[in-house]
Amino acid sequence: MDAELNVSYITLDGYVEVHKYRFVYFVTMFAAYLLIICFNSSIVCLIFNHQNLHEPMYIFIAALLLNSVLYSTNIYPKLLIDFLSEKQIISYSACIFQYFILYSLGSAEFLLLTAMSYDRYVSICKPLQYPTIMTKRNICILLVLAWVLAACHVVVPTILSAETKLCNFTFKGIVCNNAIYGLLCVQTSALSVYGVVAVVDLIILPFLFIIFTYTKIFIIAYRSGREVRRKAAETCLPHLMVLISFSSLSVYDIVIARVESSFPKTARLIMTLQAIVYHSLFNPLIYGLKMKEISKHLNRLFCPARII
């Protein structure tokens, strides 16, 4: 019976003194989850309800924030259960599922940021062609491609990992990320090769495309008048801030699978919590404060007394 339990379940060994600080962990993360849901959902609802926000730029922002809600919902409920449990365990099938959702939505975030950079590029560098290029049909295609392509890329390593025998049943983390490869008896060459292909397709190429588009935007803005520079700064800087934030956390996630054995447990926990809290709260704050139209509607919603 014990052998069967070991095969079916793995122990999550990434927590630090969870039995001592379980309620501190629980209250903190529960509050963070509520804030993520409220902040992101508020802006999504604003964009959905106000006709003047039904523009491509705001639709992509809504998609990005919705993606953050789904990303957090894949992680937080299990975390909250673990904080209150005597044993922090998860079935390997559930871990694989969490891994699939985690990287599908994480990769979709990069692709959504890529679509947003293309939208800004067309808006600023090809303004006369913007209405014919960024049609509702093309926006829907870009949104669907972002989620579908990401899922299609991640499903292959997910299946390969699910079919590989486990030799280790202690996972040095709290969220099932690519460190699960350390649980496998043998990491097949197909899994390694496909992992490199996925990183190139879902991270490196989109990142290079984003850098290319924003370089073109800043060149055009520099050569143009003050109004174009103002528009570029107002709409592009929030996207760049989100890109830099997400890219930094993605680099950590890629590296952790390689140096995981020598990475201090406390530092790993802090970085993981930062990855799942910071970015999902950072996005709505950046767009809510830096995007003029969204900020205006938020002020009307939460500070009606200030509106004359």
pLDDT band at residue 289 using 50, 70 and 90 as cut-offs: low
Whole-number Å distance between alpha carbons of 214 and 123: 12
pLDDT reported for residue 100: 94
Q: Give residue 30's Cα distance to chain centre.
A: 19
Whole-number Å distance between alpha carbons of 122 and 127: 6
pLDDT reported for residue 50: 83
> Please, which residues have CB within 8 angstroms of residue 170's CB and are 6 or more apart in sequence?
10, 11, 13
Which of 121, 70, 39 has its CA nearest to residue 289?
39
pTM above 0.85, yes or no: yes
Which of 243, 149, 171, 246 has its CA nearest to residue 9?
171
Q: Give residue 257's Cα distance to chain centre.
A: 18
Q: Is the pLDDT of residue 27 over 80?
A: yes
Task: Using alpha carbons, list the distances in angstroms from residue 38 to 45, 106, 179, 221, 280.
Answer: 10, 20, 31, 35, 11
- The total of structural domains in the chain comes to 1
H/E element, 13: none
Per the structure, the complete domain to which residue 199 belongs is given by 2-306
Q: What percent of the chain has pLDDT over 70?
A: 90
CATH of the domain at 179: 1.20.1070.10
pLDDT reported for residue 274: 79
> Please, which residues have CB within 8 angstroms of residue 165's CB and are 6 or more apart in sequence?
184, 185, 186
For 29-68, write each residue's pLDDT tens digit. 999 999 999 989 988 988 888 888 888 888 999 999 999 9
Q: Is the pLDDT of residue 104 over 60?
A: yes
Q: Is the pLDDT of residue 108 over 60?
A: yes
Please provide the average confidence, as pLDDT, over all residues in the chain.
83
3-state secondary structure of 308: coil
How long is the chain?
A: 308
Q: Is the pLDDT of residue 157 over 80?
A: yes
Q: What is the largest CA-CA distance in the chain?
A: 74
For 62-94, write each residue's pLDDT tens digit. 999 999 999 999 999 999 999 998 888 899 889
Helix then strand then coil, in percent of the chain rounded to 5, is 85, 5, 15
Q: Is the pLDDT of residue 272 over 70?
A: yes
Whole-number Å distance between alpha carbons of 253 and 262: 15
Q: Is the pLDDT of residue 259 over 50?
A: yes
Q: Is the pLDDT of residue 5 over 70?
A: no
Mean of the pLDDT values across residues 180-191?
79
Question: How crowded is residue 260: how many other Cβ atoms within 10 Å of its Cβ?
Answer: 16
